[in-house]
Structures are given as C-alpha cells and as structure tokens.
Amino acid sequence: MDKVVKLKRFRPAFERGTVSEHQFLELQAETHRLKKEIANRDDQHKMLVVKLHRAQEAAKKNLRATVEQALVVSKDKNAVMAMFLQQNNAEEKIQELELKLREGHRDAKKYLEHSRESKAEAESLRKRLEGTVRASRRTRPPTPLDVSRRYEKMVKKLKMQLMILQEENKELRNRTIDQLTDGPDCSKSPSDARLEIVSHVVRPTSSQTKRSGRHKQQDDQNDHMAEAGTNGACIAVMQSPPKKLQDTYSELNQERKLRLELEIEKKQISGELIAAEHLRSNLQQLRHQNLQLENENAELLNAALNVPRTNFAEIKSLREQLVEELKQRNLAVANVTKLTTQLEDCKRDLARLAVVEANWQYLKTELEVANKSVATGKLQMAELQVAHKLLQKKVKVLESRQAEIPEELEVIYEPEDDR
C-alpha cells in the first residue's frame, strides 16, 4: 500500500451513509490547516537558507581579511582589535543560526509526528468504515418473525412442563385416595396385614422420581399380599382398634405433607409463569427495538443513496492536497539536509579560522620579541651615540691641546694620538 491514504475506498462508505458530514468537514479543515502550516514552515526554511548563505559569505570575507592581515606583519593595534571583533561577531551569528536550525528541526519533528497521528487516525477511520461495510453485507439483524418464533417455542416448553406436573399431581391424588378407601383384606396373614398397613402409611416426601419408585413397590407388595393372604389378618386387625387410630393419624399427617408439597409445587409453577410473563414483556421490548433499528437502517440507506456526487469531487481534491503536502514535506526535509551541510561548512571555516588565529598569535609573539630586540638595539645605539659624542669632544680637546704643544714634543705625542 502507498503511504497516501486511498480515499477511493471511502466511496462505498459515503454511499451507505456511514460517514457523517461533520466528520467530512473536520477532515477538510484539518487538511487546510496542515497546508497552511506547511507553507509557513517552508517560508521559514527559505529565510533560514538565505540567512545562512549571507552568513557564509560574510564568514568567507572575514577569513580572507584575517588571512591577509596575518600575512602582512603590521604594527597597528586597531586592525588587530577589529579582527577580533569581527571574529566574535561571526561566532555569535553562527550560534544564532545554530539555534534557529535546532528550532527548525524541532518544528519538523512536530510536523512529522502530527502527520503520523493524522495518518493513524485516517487509517483507523478507514478500518472502521470497512468493518461497518462488511458487517452490513454479511450480518442479518433479527426480524420480528424470529423473535416471535422463539417466544412461541419457550411458551410451548413451559406449557408442556405444566401439563406433565398436573398429570403427576392427579396421579398422586388418585393413588392416595384409592389407598385410603381400600381397607385391609381379611384373607391375609397378620404379617401381611401389617405390611399392608405400613404400605398404606408410607408416602414419598423427597422428589417425583422417588415417589414413582415407591408407588411401584407398594403395588407389587399389595399384589403379593392378595395372593398369599389369610383370615387371621382380619381378626388381628379387628382386635387392635388403637393401632387403626394411630394408622389413621399417620395417614392424615401424610396427607397434610402431600398438601404442603403440592402447595410448594404450585408456588414454583406460579413463579415460572411470572418469569414467562417477564420474558414475554422483554420479547415485546426487543420487537420494538428491532423495528426502530430497521427503520433507522432504512433511513441511513436512503440517505446514502441520496448522497450528492459533489462529495466525491471534494474527496479527490483532498487526496490531491495530501499529495501536495507530502511533496512539501519532502522538500522541507531536503532543505534541512542542505542547512546541515552548510552548518558543517561553517564549522570547517571556524576550524580554519582557529588555525589562522594560532599562526597570528605565533607571529605576534615573534613581533613582540623583535620589538624588544629593536628597543634594546635602540638603547645600545643611543649609548653608542653618547659615547661617540664624548669621544668627539675629547678629540676636539686633544686637537686644541695639540695646537698649543710645541713641535718638539709632537714626536712624543704621536703614539698617544694613534691610541
């Protein structure tokens, strides 16, 4: 993929109405703002390039002047001070230019970060648009028919469970009534009669599965006692009325227990019915929400179909603006590289200036030594001139004296004159 965001992919999004006009206007405003910032920064870079060129030319001129002044040994201190001042000014200008270049680098980095953030935001928006388009193509929202069918299935299941529970309760009631109405058979033995009474008393208390199993056991025991009963059982039962009372009391207690269990089951069933009604209300709310979503989807589709074609032209213009901004950014980077090379050239010139300054200091020291030697020579010349004047005075005195001395003594004073 190219670095430039391919805005052609946004065309289906605009057609389906997934991008709002507010977002489009915000993108357009950001592109204009970025374009203005890039233009301002290009102007700043151009000004910096011009200033660097001028500074470079001034530095070259200063270098030539300093070299010429260093080659020619001069005794004027004013020229030396001017050279130092020019060098200091050149260094200050170079420092200012370095600061401006650093600021330019910082601005360029900020601009690059901002461009990266804008690209990331554009890519995230593009991914969201593609995801929404794919979801709108593949996924199908639940229709009210699906919701109603699911609701009917749940209601049928609840009705079936209620029917099963009602049938089981009816069977339990019929069995308890039959077992209470049927008396003990007189053709049974005492042990079998006792078992029959116990079987009449025993009732299930835990769960429906245990009840069905115990009822089967009681039916088998009753059949067994009917086959192997005797008349002694009837006599034993007639001779024990208190036992019958106890049995009746136990049966009444068991009936009460059964009634309590049935009431508990009724409460459970009523709770399930309340939950079913709650589900019904939730399903109705879901139906209303689905209808609202369908209406909104239809409105969005109509808006997407009725989007004017002018937006696509604006998108093309935005793409062109982005390409121009990228070109301007590349130009700014090239300008920064040029400025760095110019800075390196200035640094090299400064190094040469330092070498020239070292040579100039060496020549200055030699000049000072020569000046000292000249001063000492001048002193010696002055001393020699004074001595010469004294000798001249002495010679004049001797000549005057020689004129006064007679000729006979000239021979004697000749060696003195030679001396």
Residue 327 predicted with pLDDT over 80: yes
What are 140-186's pLDDT values in tens digits?
655 667 667 777 887 788 778 778 877 877 787 777 777 666 544 44
Please state, in angstroms and rounded to a whole number, the distance separating the CA atoms of residues 137 and 141.
11
Top pLDDT among 232 and 72 is at: 72
Cα–Cα distance between 41 and 108 in angstroms, integer? 8
pTM > 0.95: no
Q: Which two tokens stand for residue 413?
A: 């004073």
Q: Is the pLDDT of residue 261 over 60?
A: yes
DSSP per residue, 368-385 = HHHHHHHHHHHHHHHHHH
Architecture, CATH, for domain 7-141+307-364: Up-down Bundle (1.20)
199: CB partners within 8 A, 6+ apart: 179, 218, 221, 222
Domain boundaries of the chain, sorted by first residue: 7-141+307-364, 144-293, 376-418
- pLDDT above 80: residue 341: yes
Inter-residue long-range contacts of 272-277, CB under 8 Å, 24+ positions, other chains counted: 272/158, 272/161, 272/162, 273/158, 276/154, 276/155, 276/158
Among 307, 295, 316, 293, smallest CA distance to 17 is for 307
